[in-house]
Structure 1
Amino acid sequence: MKLASHYNKVTIVVTLSVLIVGAIIYYLAINHIAKTLLDDHLSEEVSEVVGYVNLNKQLPKQVDFDEDQTKFSKLNNRRVPTRFYDTTYSNPKLVGERAGRAVEGTITFNGEFYKFNITISKESTQYLVQIIATITLLLVIGLFIVLFLANRYILGDLWKPFYKILGQLKVFNISEAVPFDPIKSKVDEFKELNEAVHLMANRVKGDYQNLKHFTENASHEMLTPLSVITSKLDTFIQDDTLRQEQFEQIQDIYSAAGKLSRLNQSLLLLVKIENDLITDTDELHLQELLLEKQRQFQELLSSREITVKTVLTPKELTVSKYLIDILLNNLFSNAIRHNGNKGIINIELTNARLVFQNSGNGNPLDPQTIFNRFQKGNNSDGAGLGLTIVKNICSVYGWTLEYKYSDSLHTFTIVF
């Protein structure tokens, strides 16, 4: 959920809760005030009755008007405490019971106790309370709507600079010299964020350029002495006066120099892949590339009597031919290098996946570390970067690389 949505949710919930609680308290307060006014009116009626009795020395006649009713009844030497209460009464002009407010108590006349009961209508007061409650409810709903629209549109415009910065970060490419577009905002935090992003981007691009130049220069400078060493070793190997022991030592040096050269090229390739420096694309038929790569490795396959079985479905990809060639080369090399003599390799290509299976060492590999750099088997003479390169190429195109071991076969699956 977006930050603005969280803010809107909290604001609306809190505001609505406060408004509802406030409306309930307001309704109860208005209802209490209306009831107090009715009780005051009833108290005045009682005072008038007492005044009439004291003045005229007789009970007033019982009255039964539409909305006011007064009744007297004689008590047997006991007093009734004065109390106010809600009740209902009948209006002769209307059908049904009506809501009313009543008071009862005791009045003394000629040494005897009489209970009086005065009832007045509370419909006008209820109507007033309902009008006030309706107005309050409409104000709450109106305020809620205004708050919702304000959060949705006014605050939405307020967050536009943030989303602009976020959009530029999403398309930020460290290898491109495209600058960030400046944003205009009245919010100090967004201004500071914009400045921080600009500083970060410039610093990262500078570090990247320095690293790129260092990597390219280091790779170039390493290739030159390696070429010299290899050239000199070629000359030594052709010397017929070398003893067998010297020849073997030179062969070891020659092999180490070749391994160092391949390691240098692999590391440089990883840097290029991880930083998206290889951007060429072509429409390629993967099944044809697989068959071509199989022909290139046919001599090595034949020398080790490895049987290759293929089930290939036509599959087109828009990718870098250079990267796909490296990917297939590493998959074939891995399947051959870690296979046994007279082993098997199964290759299956469908529209959804590419599967390489090979026999070999009966022990399964660790799927958690197999794609890490410099991870290799005990008997491997490689640099331990082949599967890492394959993994990174798959990541460039959003493919998934999986490994599993079953039925004495190591299986590598690329899911497109």
Structure 2
Amino acid sequence: MKLLNQSIAIISASLLAIVGLWGIVFYYNLIAEIKQGIDESLDNYRKQIIFQAHKDTVLLKQVNFNEGFYAIQEITKEEGIEIKDKYVDTLISIPKGTGYYESESFRMLTTAFEDDGYFYKLRVISSMVEKDALINHTFRNLLLLYLLLIICIVVINNIVLRRVWQPFYRLLRQLKSYRLGQTKKFPLVRTNTTEFINLQNAVQTLLQSSNASYEQQKEFISNAAHELQTPLAIILNKLELFVEKNAHKEEVISDIGGTIVIVERLVRLNKSLLLLSKIESKQFLDRKEVSVNEVLQNSIDELRDLAEHKGLLFSYKEEVNLIVNTDPALAEILINNLLRNAVFHTKSGLVEVCITDHQMIVQNPGAQPLNKDVLFNRFQRQGGKTEGTGLGLSIVKAICDLYGFDISYRFESQKHHFCVTFR
């Protein structure tokens, strides 16, 4: 969820709680104000009725509310003394038609007064607002108010706040396109907002440190490639020269031959580690459209002699012409490593390769499944093989991670299945 939308959601939830609480408080305050106004009216009516009753005793004969808004009932002196002014809510049945009555809410004042030595109980009523109607009316108005507030917030958020956040989004776009070792300028936006200025300064400081580390790592890899490869090449050449000079000594040739194999493996290991370091430090950033079909066909042709020597055959099937956007050299390494892994670990049988929509699948016979948990880790050799470097599948995984490809493994029908999904 975007930051602006998240802020709208938080504000909306907060407003809903605030407006709801305010609505409850408003409702009870409104009821209290209404009752206070009605009570004042009832008190005025009481005074007028008592005043008129002293003049006209006919009023004292109205004992119920059928003929008006008050009722008078004669009581004893003791009862009259005990009665205090009391305001209550009550329901009174009002005739609405022939034999039909409906209960309505009234506010009633109960009091007592004396006239010519006689005591009377006076009840005065006044119609009240229906609470259900008041609740519905209040709810509708609060809902309308809430919707208007949300609309205003959305408008302000999309017009005003979006402008305020523009420096942040510009900085974010520049950061997404920034590449270590390639982009010359640091992300820079013009803004007067203190928080964005602090963020920009922190980002530039971090990038400066990252660039320095990147250049140091790049220099180390370059130096390591030169300083290690050169001595190894010299050692290998001198061993080969020694073999030529002692060609008649079979024991010497056998011992030196084993040493040459170890040195050659050390050369391959050094090259693989340097390649893996370059991939993980993202020094391969050249993206071009590469035909997986062509690269795969070239790799099969290169490995065909080795496969035939081991008694293996290739089965190649392509359903589509698969084009991916990647570094051509890394695409060749990825495909070549998968095929070499299949040839290297298969004693006999058929190595099957298939290209489908967005996928390349390599299958080779196997006796038992491999351990998925460590399969793509460095220096993992499964199946008892010790001649390889143990980095082939690690390099494949690193290339897939670099470009967002998926690499998966499964064992099915006595076959190892390696599937690369290109995105």
The normalised TM-score by structure 2 is: 0.82
2:335 matched to 1:334? no
Does the 8 A contact of 1:89 with 1:99 survive in 2? Answer: no
Which residue of the partner structure matches residue 304 of structure 1? 310
Q: Choose from 336, 349, 365 the match for 2:370.
A: 365
For the 8 Å contact 2:375–2:393, the answer to whether it is kept is: yes
The percent of aligned pairs where both chains have the same amino acid is: 27
Q: 1:356 matched to which residue of 2?
A: 362
Determine if the alignment matches structure 1 residue 233 to structure 2 residue 233: no
User: What SS class does the counterpart of residue 399 from structure 2 fall into?
Assistant: helix
Identify if the C-alpha distance between structure 1 residues 259 and 22 changes in structure 2 by more than 3 Å, giving closer, same or farther.
same
**Where does residue 7 of structure 1 map in the other structure?**
7
State the Cα distance separating 1:389 from its structure 2 match: 1.7
1:23 equivalenced with 2:29 (yes/no):
no
Contact 2:15 2:146 in 1 (8 A): no
User: Which secondary structure does the structure 1 equivalent of 2:79 belong to?
Assistant: coil
Instruction: Show structure 2 runs of 5+ residues with no match.
Output: none
Where does residue 196 of structure 1 map in the other structure?
A: 202
Provide the C-alpha distance between the structure 2 equivalents of 1:44 and 1:107, rounded to a whole number of angstroms: 14
Deviates more, 1:137-146 or 1:258-267: 137-146
Aligned to 2:181: 175
Alpha-carbon distance in structure 1 between the residues aligned to 2:137 and 2:334? 79
- Contact 1:107–1:113 (8 Å) recurs in 2: yes
Q: Which whole-Å deviations, capped at 9, do the CAs of 1:225-246 have from their partners, x for residues lacking one?
A: 2221121111101113663332
What's 2:41 paired with? 41
1:164-187 deviations in Å (ceiling 9; x for gaps): 222222222113133233223343
Q: Cα distance, 1:196 vs. partner?
A: 0.6
Report the Cα distance in structure 2 between the residues aligned to 1:309 and 1:181, rounded to whole angstroms.
51
Residue 369 of structure 1 deviates from its aligned partner by: 1.3
Give 1:137 deviation, angstroms: 7.1
CA contact (8 A) 1:31 1:129 kept: no
**What secondary structure sits across from 1:79 in the alignment?**
helix
8 Å contact 1:182–1:194 — kept in the other structure? yes
- Alpha-carbon distance, 1:382 to partner: 0.9
* Greater alpha carbon shift after TM alignment, 77-86 vs 38-47: 77-86
The match for 2:386 among 380, 383, 387 is 380
1:77-119 superposed Cα distances (whole Å, 9 cap, x missing partner): 8737443345568799xxx988654323333334444333333
Tell me if structure 2 keeps the 8 A contact 1:273–1:393: yes
Tell me the residue number matched to 1:255: 261
For 1:356, give the aligned amino acid: V
Structure 1: unaligned runs, 5 residues or longer: none
User: How far, CA to CA, are the matches of 2:158 and 2:112 in structure 1?
Assistant: 64
8 Å CA contact 1:70, 1:118 repeated in 2: yes
Structure 1 distance, partners of 2:112, 2:320, is 106
Q: Indicate the RMSD between aligned Cα atoms, in angstroms.
A: 3.8
1:281 to 257, 272, 288: 288
| Distance in 2, Cα, partners of 1:127 & 1:389 | 74
Aligned-partner Cα distance in 1 for 2:201–2:95: 78
* C-alpha separation in 2, matches of 1:119 and 1:89: 13
Instruction: Indicate the SS of the match to 2:389.
Output: coil
Partner of 1:206: 212
Return the alpha-carbon distance in structure 2 between the equivalents of residues 144 and 222 of structure 1.
Answer: 67
Distance change in 2, residues 1:403/1:71 (3 Å): closer
Given that 1:348 and 1:356 are in contact with CA atoms closer than 8 Å, whether structure 2 keeps it comes out as yes
Query: CA 1:115–1:294 in structure 2 vs 1: closer, same or farther (change >3 Å)?
Result: same
Alpha-carbon distance in 2 for matches of 1:132, 1:320: 67
The CA deviation string for residues 52-92 of structure 1, in whole angstroms up to 9 with x for no partner, is 55x65956577999x97344344478737443345568799
Shift of 1:355: 1.7
Q: What does 1:148-167 correspond to in 2, within 5 Å?
A: 148-167=154-173
3-state DSSP of counterpart to 1:290: helix
More off after superposition, 25-34 vs 307-316? 307-316
Picking from 78, 86, 97, the partner of 1:83 is 86
Structure 2 residue 348 is the aligned partner of structure 1 residue 345: no
Which runs of structure 2 are paired with 1:375-414 in the superposition (5 Å)?
A: 375-377=380-382, 378-414=384-420
Secondary structure at 1:363 match in 2:
coil
Distance 1:117 1:150, change over 3 A: same
Instruction: Check conservation: 1:272, 1:278, Cα contact below 8 A.
Output: no
Q: Which secondary structure state, in structure 1, belongs to the residue aligned with residue 245 of structure 2? A: coil
CA spacing shift, 1:403–1:68, aligned 2, 3 Å: same
Verify the 8 A CA contact 2:108 2:126 in the aligned structure 1. yes
- The residue type paired with residue 333 of structure 1 is R
Q: What secondary structure, in the 3-state scheme, does the structure 2 residue paired with 1:153 have?
A: helix
Q: Which moved more, 1:299-308 or 1:128-137?
A: 128-137
Instruction: Say if 1:16 and 1:144, in contact at 8 Å, map to a contact too.
Output: no
